[in-house]
Amino acid sequence: MPAEVIVLGSQHATPDVGAVVRERGLRGPIAIVRAGYQEREADDGALVAALGVPAVNLALHARASAVFADDPAFTAAYRDRQALLRHMQSCYRVRLEKTEDAARTIALRYFEPELLEGEDAVSVEQFRQLDANHVTRCEQVRTAFAALWHPTDRPTVARHRAELTALLAPVEALVIAGGHVASLHNRLELFDVLGLAAGKPIIAWGAGAMVLTDRIVLYHDYPPYGSDVAQVLDSGFGVAPGVVVMPDPSRRLNPDTGPAIARFARRMAPAVCVGMDLGARLDFVDGALVAGRGRHLRPDGGIDAAWTAAPVAPALLALGDSADEVPA
């Protein structure tokens, strides 16, 4: 686990990552990961300028493409794994949509408040069971694949890992940007980048922040198509534990859906659900949340736009206790 992880809000219009770099006294070089942008991975000029220090692009998407071109047997098995995960996600989403439809329909019934409260609790528990089962099955697929194929031991993967080790040796920190969350997660996993960068501070936002949490949660109240029900994609790397990171809530979250927000927050509990607009920030030290600010989705359906994480006493941090505020 890295000693320090800093999760930031949106970096689209006026990025503040450079201010964090200066605050931490980093002079570079800094390693950057833009694999979530896939073919646009190399377009890093704006990010390097925002950092304000020398940087090296790890080019994980390009490296993965080279691996897939050089190792046909591994590539075929990898694609089969990804197809299986996509099909599992599709089936899980169908079950979520039916559960969400039932929860919304029941919530509109003119029943006694006590009965509606109990029925809502049943809906939340159904969501939690679906989420837990899906994550467990995804982990089983990944574990079985790793046991059979030993990805990091494949010659072409090992060659790129050796190059990445050399690139990471002199850097002061690792910066992980956003983009396509599944692609980013898979490339970081393929090369075990967090393992290679062990002990170095990590700064991340968007999809880069999502993959660092315990569970990667997808949400969008205004989707261009399909259902708006939130879904768990997979387990994350767990170096920013105890939170659900929700990028761009100003564009993706409908603040006027109190019952839905309440169900979501209770569904994700005990994790703290935090909307991460520009200026939001979560600081982790040795896996404990020591400071934070953002838009907190409360279990009562409200949104605390001025939420701050409760500070952790040094004595508790030394004991390794969780720093979650435990409010979602």
Mean pLDDT for the chain?
91
> Is the confidence at residue 95, as pLDDT, over 60?
yes
pLDDT digits (tens, 9 = 90+) for 104-132: 888 777 778 888 788 889 999 999 999 99
Q: Tell me which residue range forms the domain holding 73.
A: 4-319
b/e per residue, 236-272, with b = 16+ CB within 10 A?
bbebbbbbbbbbbbeebbeeeeeebbbbbbbbbbebb
The answer to whether residue 245 is domain-embedded is yes
In a domain, 189, yes or no: yes
Residue 287's pLDDT is what?
A: 92
pLDDT tens for 17-60 read 999 999 999 998 999 999 999 999 999 999 999 999 999 999 99
Can you give the CATH number for the domain in which 202 is found? 3.40.50.880
> Which residue, among 297, 281, 278, 287, has the nearest Cα to 322 in the 3D structure?
287
How many C-alpha atoms does 12 have within 13 Å on its Cβ side?
Answer: 11
pLDDT digits (tens, 9 = 90+) for 76-94: 999 999 999 999 999 999 9
The crossing angle, in degrees rounded to 10, of helices 155-168 and 60-70 is: 160
* Residue 327 covered by a domain: no
pLDDT score of 322 more than 70: no
The total of other beta-carbon atoms located within 10 Å of residue 7's CB is: 29
Number of domains in the chain: 1
On whether residue 216 sits in a domain, the answer given is yes
In a domain, 324, yes or no: no
Alpha-carbon distances, residue 60 vs 74, 168, 192 (angstroms): 17, 13, 11
Give counts: helices (H), strands (E), the chain.
12, 12
Average confidence (pLDDT) over 287-305: 94
The answer to whether residue 251 is domain-embedded is yes
Domain assignment of residue 325, yes or no: no
Please report whether residue 328 resides in a domain: no
Question: What confidence score (pLDDT) does residue 325 get?
Answer: 34
